Structure 1
Amino acid sequence: MNQKLRRLVQQLGEAIHETVSESEQIAGVVADIKKQGFEVLLMLEATIGLNEVEQQPGGAGMPSNAQQDEDGTFSEHDVSFLKSLRISVASDEGKA
């Protein structure tokens, strides 16, 4: 893995950590657990996998192994996961 890619993966890990650390929802649940008389130790493990994408001639840059719904939109599960990472999806306005 080259240095630039290694740095980007490290930045991704730091961004995930920061997002979890600043989550009001997580902080609220942790506070509720503490009110019940427990100390909370939260440890998360993130596995970041990388696959090099081969560009298709005339393609839109979509990896050949990417899976989408038939109409090309995200599933409700996909949207839920992205929202948990605080990523908004323009096509999720009518869902949820």
Structure 2
Amino acid sequence: MSLFLVEYTYAPEKNAARDAIRADHRAWLTDLLERDIVLSSGPFADGLGALIIVDTADAETVALLFTHDPFAIADLIANVRITEWVPVLGQFSV
């Protein structure tokens, strides 16, 4: 099984704007979690970004899907990195 890691990097000067729509962002992620597309998600401890583990067919699907994130729509993500990941041990491995 291949999964995709979506790494967000945040610009600190946009923290207030992210805080204002964080509930919408989390509702969007919760919908994907309930549909078994997102497996796990959370911010980095330093507050400068987040990691989302996604189960989809390919990187292009991930990229298109994440254009619908309220944070992306409001231009509140400084950088997005999508990396294919092949887990071989642990709870995410087959």
Range into which the TM-score falls when normalised by the shorter chain: under 0.3
Q: Which structure's residues are more often helix, by fraction?
A: 1
Higher relative contact order by CA 8 Å / sep ≥ 6: 1 or 2? 2
Determine which structure has more spread, i.e. the larger CA radius of gyration: 1
